[in-house]
Amino acid sequence: MVYRVAGPSEVLAITGSFFTDPDIVLAKKKWIWPGQKWVKVDLTPVNYTFQVQAMSAEKLPFILPAVFTIGPKVDCNESMLRARPGVIEGETRVLAASMTMEEIFRGTKSFKQEVFDKVQLELDQFGLRIYDANVKQLVDVPGHEYFSYLGQKTQMEAANQAKLL
């Protein structure tokens, strides 16, 4: 019999004798009996960097660079056993396909928030939480310079407004 303690960002996963349901017990500290096996599981959130290639409602392609910091919800032991990220790209594509390029470009903040909300909703089923998300400037796919064009158009409109004043 040995007493084990997990570190600040760890949990002990214990299996073997004396457990009927569930087969795995998660704990911060526990006596380990003969016939039981244990391992320390690191719960430190992980950064995932994506270059999501998406398409707008008008079928115009673009790239959405993003960094999500994702980790298990520490208050939900069951979720720590089935944590599997991988829905960010799919949810972003689905959301982008329902919006026009103008909506995506003009409402970048709301688009980013909607991506965050929809991804979090999907990650909830895996017991994961987005601790931080940084969706960067939307980028044109080579051969499709839509965002460059909108940026130039906005600059020209601003310059014209300045000439009028």
Pick out the chain residues at pLDDT < 70. 19-22, 74-85
pLDDT of residue 148: 77
pLDDT of residue 84: 47
State whether 35 and 89 are in the same domain.
Answer: no
Mind listing the pLDDT tens digit for each residue in 40-74?
A: 988 889 998 988 888 888 888 888 888 889 988 76
User: What are the beta bridge partners of residue 11?
Assistant: 41
State whether 34 and 113 are in the same domain.
Answer: no
Number of domains in the chain: 2
What's the domain range around 18?
2-42
CA distance 144 to 148: 9
Pairing of strands 61-72, 128-135: antiparallel
Q: Tell me the average pLDDT of the chain.
A: 82
State whether 30 and 51 are in the same domain.
Answer: no
State whether 36 and 66 are in the same domain.
Answer: no
State whether 65 and 120 are in the same domain.
Answer: yes
State whether 12 and 76 are in the same domain.
Answer: no
